[in-house]
Amino acid sequence: MEASLLEQIRFGYGPRGGSPPAPGGVEPERVLAQLEAADPVEVVADRPTLDQRIAMVAEAQQQSKDFKAGRIPALTVLPRLKQAGRADLSAWILAPVVAEAGFRERLVNFWANRLTVGLRRLGALPYLAGIYPDDVARPHLAGRFSDMLRASAWHPAMLLYLDQAKSVGPDSRIGRKKESGLNENYARELLELHTMGSGYSQADVTETARLLTGMWLGPEGSTFDPARAEPGRKIILGQSYGEGPEEIDRFLAYIALRPETARSVSRALARSFLADQPSEATVARMAAAYLDSGSDLRPVYAAMLADPAATATELIKIRSPQEFVVASLRAVDWPAEGQGKVRTPGKINQALTVMGQPPFRPRGPDGWPDTAEGWVSAPMLAARIDWAETVAQAVSRATRDRAEPVPIARAALGDLGNPDTIRAAGQAEQRWEGIAVLLGSPDFMRR
């Protein structure tokens, strides 16, 4: 399933050293075929599942009480949860490093960012957020957005991140007893960021919050608690809803098929893959495919891949820090024997943080930025140069300084880069410096 160099750079995480690309430019069917590729199971699956984590969190909470009371000598579950968090970080980097289907991995990252959760809360969330992309985005990449949206809405990490699990109907049984109230955080972001983006009112937000009451995180995971649900009819966007999980799902399916959602989703995809400011014609074609297919994402991807901007040979998008780190490791054919320092998650965590993208900690519910202005401050660019030197020096140590920078540069950029970049890599005094010149170049930072 080899992709062309342009396909690997624009729609994936860049070429992997030692693997010659397929000929030609962008062939939509070839890129779409990656949707059927197998996941890098050894990286993605070798971690506790969501159900296992929920059980571990409950056990860890009980252990904490027992430990404080002196009933047990040590905590055994919390270290396992922390190890799962470290494995999540490794998977975020390693899955796209080792994957053959770069487009598939880019989509996992895109959708997890579009429907983002982050580690800005304590409690169980830090141990659930890292599995969220694999639970929500990965199974629905080639399916319908409406199904992905429902998976996101009911995921425990989302219920915690945007406080939906705290929202109680004021007139519900629990609300009347405890004088609890609505929390509109998730309702607002659901309409503004996850779906429509426009075309709704504050009254729609409040009514949505009333409808969503009852969504709760119990001891065994996400559930619907009638005692928390606000009774009565809710009118949202001119539609009437009752109460219960079926009505919530009906609402999610409805807003997923709104024309505003089609445009918002299509614009976000085009902005991520094609240009910081995609043309309205591009967005309109993708949105039409979205609506015609009932939110089936494959036709939307096909419309994007058939757009003239998809085949342009000028690289104009700036790679995010995660994309840059992954692309650099792929370019030097990592992992190789002796590169332990490069693959240490702590090292990668530190590097990404300084570049402006601390893992699983987006700046807000709108996720990570997807335009150049979010990634090109002087300190962030300096951190990329530092990372380029770190990787280049590790490669030099692993290969006993036998890695040649010019072949690596040609494989990474081909004819898509500036010839001066390849020339500069070859003219460096030391081989590792030539590799650092490549990885730290403006050409390599673009896709």
| Alpha carbons 121 and 112: distance in angstroms, whole number | 18
Nearest to 50 by CA among 77, 92, 81: 81
The residues pairing with 224 across neighbouring beta strands, listed in sequence order, are: 215
Q: For residue 228, give both structure tokens.
A: 């928390």
User: Which pLDDT does position 344 carry in this prediction?
Assistant: 52
Longest distance between any two alpha carbons in the chain, whole Å? 75
Instruction: For 32-58, give the secondary structure using H, E and C.
Output: HHHHHCCCCHHHHCCCCCHHHHHHHHH
Angle at 371 (CA atoms; ends 365, 376), nearest 5 degrees:
105
Alpha-helical runs (H) found in 162-307? 173-178, 185-189, 202-212, 245-256, 259-273, 280-292, 297-305
User: Which pLDDT does position 110 carry in this prediction?
Assistant: 98
The pTM for the full model equals 0.95
Residue 47's contacts (CB-CB under 8 Å, 6 or more residues apart) are 84, 87, 88, 91, 130, 131
Cβ atoms within 10 Å of 433's Cβ, excluding its own? 18
Q: Are 175 and 168 in contact (CB under 8 A)?
A: yes
User: Which pLDDT does position 342 carry in this prediction?
Assistant: 41
Q: Are 9 and 311 in contact (CB under 8 A)?
A: no
Name the strand (E) or helix (H) holding 389: helix 378-399
What values do phi and psi take at 409, rounded to 5? Answer: -65, -40
Nearest to 192 by CA among 367, 374, 373, 371: 367
| Alpha carbons 351 and 126: distance in angstroms, whole number | 20
The residues pairing with 438 across neighbouring beta strands, listed in sequence order, are: none
User: Which pLDDT does position 338 carry in this prediction?
Assistant: 40
| Alpha carbons 160 and 141: distance in angstroms, whole number | 24
Nearest to 138 by CA among 158, 157, 110: 110
Cα dihedral 264, 326, 376, 379, rounded to 10, equals 140
Q: For residue 377, give both structure tokens.
A: 């401050």
- Residue found under tokens 């030197």: 389
Q: Burial of 36 by CB count in 10 Å (0-12 exposed, 13-18 middle, 19+ buried)?
A: exposed
User: Which pLDDT does position 128 carry in this prediction?
Assistant: 95
Over the stretch 77-133, which tens digit does the pLDDT of each residue have? Answer: 999 999 999 899 889 998 999 899 999 999 999 999 999 999 876 678 999 999 999
| Alpha carbons 118 and 157: distance in angstroms, whole number | 8
SS3 content of the chain, % helix, strand, coil (to 5): 60, 5, 35
Cβ atoms within 10 Å of 346's Cβ, excluding its own? 9
Q: Are 165 and 215 in contact (CB under 8 A)?
A: yes
User: Which pLDDT does position 122 carry in this prediction?
Assistant: 66
In order, the DSSP letters of 91-135 are HHHHHHHH-S-HHHHHHHHHHHHHT---S-S-TTHHHHGGGHIII
- Residue found under tokens 């494959």: 298
Give the C-alpha distances (Å, rounded to integers) separating 54 from 25, 45, 101, 116, 261.
Answer: 46, 17, 31, 20, 32
Q: For residue 230, give both structure tokens.
A: 């606000």
Residue ranges, the chain, pLDDT below 50: 336-342, 345
